[in-house]
Structure 1
């Protein structure tokens, strides 16, 4: 089960997942989803406004309740990208290799470079499970992305 959050829900969710004494609110251009005991802040550079045929960077800052970051080394994470509309039995258009990156205040989080082939709508399906002693439940989150010419 996953949930989409609007800006006010995002702030409430951030409070639930953060135990830091100082609250750092990232730009609201980030999308946050919660699945079980994992929250993911999703960002797409440049400014959630990718252009067809040009490189874009996607990243997912995974956190547990309490605010602890889940690095890629502790997550068997996958990213599948589908064209929309998506048929029930559709195969992913691409499955970019996730690599450990540093973005904003996050270290070692999953990220990938993506080139969307054409303008239109896409669905990014991000999923994962614990590995190497991780103790979080498996998750799946979906994000919609609109790509311009």
Structure 2
């Protein structure tokens, strides 16, 4: 019984851990793209954010901006197909981590919420990759804005996020706790008799 109790204590917290990734990776055709946002993949509304895209071909060869006719579009979520982008920041070659000359842009997200960054690219003359369309979802936190509407948007986003929490994520810890309590009470009863 002690081992079962120990197993419950170890397994229940692990089940509820959601995987997190500092960089978002997407693949389209023969091109893979990794999005990184400064600072620390945690953009804030109203503050300049540096976003860069590490583009690679199959095999890991880097695609610099000079070899890609790339276009970045930023959409506020939710958006309807055909709707014009909220922002179209210009791309510039940047050096980040081990990458040189990759596409990067400075973005100022207008308010907190969820945004989609779409990076479309076609090879320039001499480049040999297929055209691609990569879509990255970005959550923007409240920033330096003193606008009360922005705070309201943050609160509504939190409420919506809570409603999306899977029932299983709530039920498993409760069931685990009830199971542990049941085992402990059974052991206590067995010792009294």
Q: Is TM-score (shorter-chain normalized) higher than 0.5?
A: yes
Determine whether 1:100 maps to 2:101: no
Instruction: Name which one, 1 or 2, has greater alpha-carbon Rg.
Output: 2
RMSD over aligned Cα atoms: 1.6
Which of structures 1 and 2 has the larger relative contact order (alpha carbons within 8 angstroms, sep 6+)?
Answer: 1
What is the count of residue pairs matched by the alignment? 125
Q: C-alpha displacement at 1:77, in angstroms?
A: 0.4
Query: Could you say which residue in structure 1 is the equivalent of 2:41?
Result: 48
Scaled by the length of structure 2, the TM-score of the pair is 0.62
Which blocks of at least 5 consecutive residues in structure 2 are unaligned?
Answer: 1-18, 143-193
Scaled by the length of structure 1, the TM-score of the pair is 0.80
Whose helix fraction is larger, Structure 1's or Structure 2's?
2
Query: Could you say which residue in structure 2 is the equivalent of 1:119?
Result: 112
Q: C-alpha displacement at 1:47, in angstroms?
A: 1.4
CA deviation profile, 1:90-124 (whole Å, cap 9, x unmatched) = 10001000000000000000000000011111110
Q: C-alpha displacement at 1:28, in angstroms?
A: 3.8
Q: Which residue, 58, 63, 68 being the options, matches 1:75?
A: 68
4+ residue runs over 4 A deviation: none
CA deviation profile, 1:67-89 (whole Å, cap 9, x unmatched) = 11010000000100001110122
Whose strand fraction is larger, Structure 1's or Structure 2's?
1
Give the 3-state SS of the residue equivalent to 1:117 in structure 2: coil
Q: What pairs with 1:1-149 in structure 2 (closer than 5 Å)?
A: 28-149=21-142
